[in-house]
Structure 1
Amino acid sequence: MPLDHYGKILVVAPHPDDEILGCGGTMARMAAAGMDVQVVVVTSGRPPAFAEDGVARVQAEMKRAHAHIGVSQVHMLDFPAASLDIVPAAELNAALGRVVREVQPDTLFVPFLGDIHQDHQLAFLAAMVAARPRDRTVPTRVLAYETLSETNWYAAPLTPPFVPNVHIDIAATLQRKLEAFAMFESQVRDFPDERSLITIEALARLRGSTVFSEAAEGFVLVRAIER
């Protein structure tokens, strides 16, 4: 079944590679169908916490991965990675809001509020501010994706657990997702680390099997506006 009803796509990535982990297969499927898939990367590494050569390497890896997936445009906000908590909320909200107003996506994919990384939580909150339904240009769909090594490492009995209620079949694009993440050579880990290709595939197979598909990505529907 075509995914045309999702319209123009904007994926909010707290860091480079989150978008591939969370919805790389969906992005690839949509891009292959001719849909406009864009990404906004909220943070980038800064010295001294992150070496300049390491940051440049990740940026180059991201460009290769995005080209492989079919991303049409990337918006870089360049806030400090792992330090979003020191950025005034109004500043973060305004920057992400500008991108959302510029792109005017029909569907917004966001990190999950219950992720352990505070950058993910703050990116989610800023995205929800940007997606407030105050006019008819706001995204009509907001879906939260899961990020291995972030979404399931918090305290699920005490914090929001990730319980997907939307599944998108990625049987045809799972391999492209795996290839794209493999291009993040600095981020790939050996199994049984969660950021291994084996685990990424296993999660896709698990999400797929719960809805009788060979592979899928799971999402939490935050909001849908039917017009």
Structure 2
Amino acid sequence: MSDRTVLVIGAHPDDEVLGAGGTMAKHAAAGDEVHVLIVTEGTTQQYDDDSIIEQKREEARECADTLGIGAVHFGDLPDMRLDDVPHVETNAVIESVVSDHSPDVVYTHSPHEVNLDHKAVYDSTLVATRPATGVERVLAYETPSSTGWTGGATSQFGADVYVDITGYVDTKVEAFNAYESETRQFPHPRSGKSLSARATARGSEAGFAAAEAFSLVYERVSEI
């Protein structure tokens, strides 16, 4: 059994499971305390219906339940508008959860994204996990349909950490399916078949049957 505390940060409901669903399930199975933070309400700019906010929250909780996670936190910042939100406000949402739960490991968005909300969350994660917070490790995940669409002229997501999620792929797909409004038909990247295929491809890069890929942002090591 492990006694680590883990925080997974997503700009919108479903980002967390797309990027790190299998890894979250594996942490939970190992006995780690896993928290999810959804920074925005994930709805208003896409659906123009405030009633969907609660639906998304319920989907996030169902997703977390499937992964074996009990704690989901909501920041309620405006969806698709984090580039207009003062940086300090986004910082404060993440800092609050970091302060309350003292995570050892944090997973967040990559800066190599087409989605500006994702980039803003990455920037604020760096502020919220400064050395004085005690966070030991920060990793950035890839977000299907965002990290892969940045274009060849810009910096691309580069994987240098692979987590073996053999045995957790079906759980990840089942958890993602809780987000009924976000699932798409194959070959869209946000389809169950595509997520399974990505896990197989990432696994083959690292010698696993299935894996999730991350970029190490930093790691603080006191002993070697």
Determine if the TM-score, normalized by the shorter chain, exceeds 0.5: yes
CA distance in 2, matches of 1:15, 1:47: 12
How far apart are residue 72 of structure 1 and its match? 2.6
- What's the counterpart of residue 135 of structure 2? 139
Residue among 172, 176, 183 paired with 1:188:
183
Amino acid at match of 1:153: W
Query: Aligned pair in 2 of structure 1 residues 48, 143: CA closer, same or farther (>3 Å)?
Result: closer
- What's the counterpart of residue 30 of structure 1? 27
Segment of structure 1 superposing worse, 33-42 or 89-98: 89-98
How far apart are residue 47 of structure 1 and its match? 7.1
What is the root-mean-square deviation of aligned Cα atoms in Å? 1.6
CA distance in 1, matches of 2:121, 2:52: 23
How far apart are residue 50 of structure 1 and its match? 2.8
Q: Is the 8 A contact 2:39 2:93 kept in 1?
A: no
User: How many residues matched?
Assistant: 221
Q: Does 1:201 align with 2:199?
A: no
Per the alignment, in what secondary structure is the counterpart of residue 194 of structure 1? coil
Q: How does 1:113-192 map to 2 (within 5 A)?
A: 113-133=111-131, 135=132, 137-155=133-151, 157-192=152-187
- What's the counterpart of residue 12 of structure 1? 9
The alignment's TM-score, normalised by the length of structure 2, stands at 0.94
What per-residue deviation string (whole Å, max 9, x for no partner) do you get for residues 58-114 of structure 1?
Answer: 222111111110123111110001011111111111221121111110001010101
Q: Does 1:63 align with 2:72?
A: no
The alignment's TM-score, normalised by the length of structure 1, stands at 0.92
Q: Is the 8 A contact 2:45 2:79 kept in 1?
A: no
CA distance in 1, matches of 2:93, 2:76: 10
CA distance in 2, matches of 1:165, 1:48: 33
Query: Aligned pair in 2 of structure 1 residues 49, 172: CA closer, same or farther (>3 Å)?
Result: closer
Per the alignment, in what secondary structure is the counterpart of residue 116 of structure 1? coil
Q: Which runs of 5+ in 1 are unaligned?
A: none
How far apart are residue 48 of structure 1 and its match? 8.6
